Amino acid sequence: METALDDIARVLTAPQPGLRDRYGAFVLQLLGNIATGLAVGLGFAIGRAIAG
């Protein structure tokens, strides 16, 4: 029982992750997907413009 209480106390006193730590990877993935989508769309647009 004592170890369970020690675990609970350790979890409660642990530093909380910041907003940057929590959502940083998600934002980077989202920006990468947007950049890829823009590059593909621009490539299609240029290809269609060249093809006429």
Going residue by residue through the chain (52 aa), what tens digit of pLDDT does each one get? 678 888 888 877 877 777 777 788 899 999 999 999 999 999 999 999 999 8
What distance in Å separates the CA atoms of residue 10 and residue 19, rounded to the nearest whole number? 21
Residue whose tokens read 């642990």: 14
- pLDDT value, residue 1: 67
What distance in Å separates the CA atoms of residue 45 and residue 47, rounded to the nearest whole number? 5
DSSP at 33: H
pTM over 0.85, yes/no: no
